[in-house]
Structure 1
Amino acid sequence: MTNPAGTDPFGDGTRCVQGGHPDPVAGNPLLPGPVFAAPYHLGGSDRATDTDFYGRAGNPTWRALESAIGELDGGHCVLLPSGMAAISTLLRAVLRPGDALVLPSDGYYATRQFVRDELAELALDVREVPTPGPWPDGAFDGVRLVLLETPSNPGMDVCDIAALAERAHAAGARVAVDNTTATPIGQRPLQLGADAVLASDTKALTGHSDVLLGHVSVHDDAFAERLLRARTLSGAIPGPFESWLAHRSMGTLDLRLARQAENAAALVDALRGHPAVSGLRWPGLPEDPSHERARRQMRRWGGVFRFELADAGSVEEFVRRSRLVVGATSFGGMHSTVDRRAQWGDPVPEGFVRFSAGCEDSADLVADVLNALD
């Protein structure tokens, strides 16, 4: 796999550990604690220039985390209180009544639900296309925004970001990429031509299953200011403590992702050809239909893969018999989890499983999963 960034002075691990930290000062902590404030001192009767004045408009704890994430994404990061807040803020900031919007038909179901239910008053021309295509000629004609999700959740399909961005830009459309599954060190959509990248940082970026957070990163200064204004006026602001927890957690992102990918590779290898398993998909698998496309644009593999068991009861029995794997509807955490996606309304078979490999020992995890299946 290649490194699209290419010019970073430091490696992923260093940037995860050091990103957004202040210069060292004797007697100060390495990562300052969260700043809890509603109003700030103005220094006089009027607002001082370039200082915090009210907690909804700015907070130094947010900015430190935004600096760290923005460095990984390669753009200006705007922090938001959840992944859905990131999606909704971006869509509301870009779209106008009657606009055409391209969405992945196989991506996160709540994105489609939000557009259908909460943006109904905009009377949008919504065009849904599967992540791997086909993307016919004219797919982006008259489109305001193309939202991609790759690898897709939960199907784990991959699209060519650079090629689709070039086509969309030629048609006058902006391109945003939901990068939740890959993370900023697994894939850099802004380097591949996207105008915006967003993610649910609740997942692998923070990785401890204890924070709700999201973000949008963009290249363009004016676009970033538009998103900041939307956040301030809507009140969709992150909590200082959650932001500080996320920044603390980011220091181990490189290590966690490496172990999760190692465990995913071991599990996928063990499940290949297993009589109880069908529909096994992981971009890191050489025979996966998306492998070559993923290899060209992803900087490393992740810990999320999918497969199918016979039915819902089989998934329930699998979880019951496992000692290490639990049922949960998030992914990217320290613990290995499975989520039977049909229960949430995803258009998948009843036995469809999204597996999120955690940070357990590979040998223990493989033995436990095989025992639970057998």
Structure 2
Amino acid sequence: MSLDPDWGDGTRCVHAGETAPSKGSPLTPGPVLAAPFHLADARPDTDAGLAEEADFYGRAGNPTWRRLESAIGELDGGECVLFPSGMAAISALLRDASGRGALVLPSDGYYATRAFAESELVPRGVTVRAVPTAGPWDDDVFDGAALVLLETPSNPGLDVCDIAELSARAHTAGAVVAVDNTTASPLGQRPLALGADVVVASDAKALSGHSDLLLGHVSTADAALARRLREARTLGGAIPGPFEAWLAYRSLSTLDLRLARQAENAAALTAALRDHPAVRGLRWPGSAGDAAHETARRQMRRFGGVLSFELADEATFSRFVAASRLVVEATSFGGVHSTVDRRARWGDPVAPGFVRFSSGCEDAADLVADVLAALDSCVR
């Protein structure tokens, strides 16, 4: 069943990836856990085309993957290729582009993307240019580039760049534009509709939202690129597990509800923390006073649940976590539990007390009260 473009986000999430109902079949089918599939109907003269006509081996395809790919693709507005993690997705994309020119990466985006490029691609002669999300984006950045990867809002600093403007400039120079949409999610931002060629994301975060699986995906309107990525997935063996895909598909129906509560909590926390003496450098793109707000307001459909701020130092961060009853320390985001991560421990170029705060789905009043009490204990 195709989604009606006039449907709201909640309806789209509940019905994305659905097939026509069949009497006696499950409303939500379970995962297909299979490595080999029956070949009883295959004939010797048709075996060569079997991979395109039917499932034959689990490394090449699985109906549970395809259900989730259909759902995510409908939300992204492109053809989705599923991977076992966000890094598997983004590394496949970078490898695909690396033979055709320079790669432009965000200098303030997810650190592992830069680490992958520096450890695997640069030694093979690939030119990698790093640019801050907020710029400056000089024209020579695009010269000879095969792929420009944007990450907006950036992780962890939450800076924002203009997808439409940078896509137009990159296309003029002959480059493909990809957007890491992990922080925003398909409901928060639709990069393909803004002019980008590719969306890539870690689906361990908000999309699946329960902190219990690893998945990633690439979505694109370029059928040739999607085909190359599927071939690379099959030959490289970077395949998602069907159970994880099933869990993510089951979780997708509540994405609208979860994002709404998380954004509500982020807004409440931003308002409460703005003048707190323990907090400085507070960022959330949804705040009217944020440096990225005007650009974010133009291109984002909702602002998400991730905010960031700085505490005095690592010791203050530790006291804050110990004093909180609701917030736990973890290095992912987008889940139903509120979490914090001191990003300097992973080598991000941030201050020792920098905090990435992922708002969960707790009641806003309870979460704000808990965070304020924990912060108050840090300044007594």
Question: What interval of TM-score do these two structures reach, taking the shorter chain for normalisation?
Answer: over 0.9
Distance 1:26 1:319 in 2: 51
**Aligned residue runs from structure 1 range 208-287, under 5 A:** 208-287=210-289
CA deviation vs aligned residue, 1:222-274 (integer Å, no higher than 9, x gap): 11111111111100000000000000000100000000000000000000011
Tell me how far apart the structure 2 counterparts of residues 93 and 272 of structure 1 sit (CA, whole Å).
44
Aligned match of 2:142: 140
Residues 114-157 of structure 1 deviation map (CA, whole Å, 9 limit, x = unaligned): 00002233212211110010111222011111000000000000
Counterpart residue number, 1:58: 61
Return 5+ residue gaps in structure 2 as ranges: none
TM-score scaled by length of structure 1? 0.97
Equivalent residue for 1:39? 36
User: Residues 348-363 of structure 1: matches in 2 within 5 Å?
Assistant: 348-363=350-365
Give the letter aligned to residue 315 of structure 1: F
Equivalences for residues 62-141 of structure 1 within 5 A: 62-96=65-99, 99-141=101-143
SS in 2 for 1:175: strand
Which SS does the other structure have where 1:333 is aligned?
A: coil
Measure how far apart 1:41 and its partner are. Answer: 1.3
Cα deviation per residue 1:324-372 (whole Å; 9 max; x = unaligned)?
0000000000000000000111010000000000000000000000000
Name the stretch that deviates more: 27-36 or 243-252: 27-36
The alignment's C-alpha RMSD in Å is 1.2
Q: Which amino acid is 2:21 matched to?
A: P
Q: Is the 8 A contact 2:98 2:121 kept in 1?
A: no
> Contact (CA 8 Å) 1:22, 1:31: kept in 2 or not?
no
Asked whether the equivalents of residues 96 and 122 of structure 1 are also in contact (C-alpha less than 8 Å), the reply is no
Q: Please tell me the residue identity of whatever aligns with 1:265.
A: A
Q: Is the 8 A contact 1:272 1:280 kept in 2?
A: yes
Counterpart CA distance in 1 for 2:11 and 2:124 is 44
Task: Please list every run of at least 4 consecutive aligned residues from structure 1 whose deviation after the TM superposition is greater than 2 angstroms.
Answer: 44-49
Give 1 or 2: higher helix fraction: 2
How many residues matched?
Answer: 368
Residue deviations 1:138-177 (CA, integer Å, cap 9, x gap):
2201111100000000000000000000000000011100
| Structure-1 separation of matches of 2:79 and 2:207 | 17
Matched, 1:154 2:172: no
CA distance in 1, matches of 2:6, 2:172: 33
1:29 correspondence with 2:29: no
Query: What amino acid maps onto 2:174 in structure 1?
Result: G
Q: Secondary structure at the match of 1:184?
A: helix
5+ residue gaps, structure 1: 1-6
Name the SS of the counterpart of 1:307 in structure 2.
strand
| 8 Å CA contact 2:167, 2:196 repeated in 1 | yes
Instruction: Check the 8 A contact 1:161/1:189 in 2, yes or no.
Output: yes
The answer (yes or no) to whether the contact 1:197–1:217 under 8 Å persists in 2 is: yes
Report the counterpart of residue 16 of structure 1 in structure 2. Answer: 13
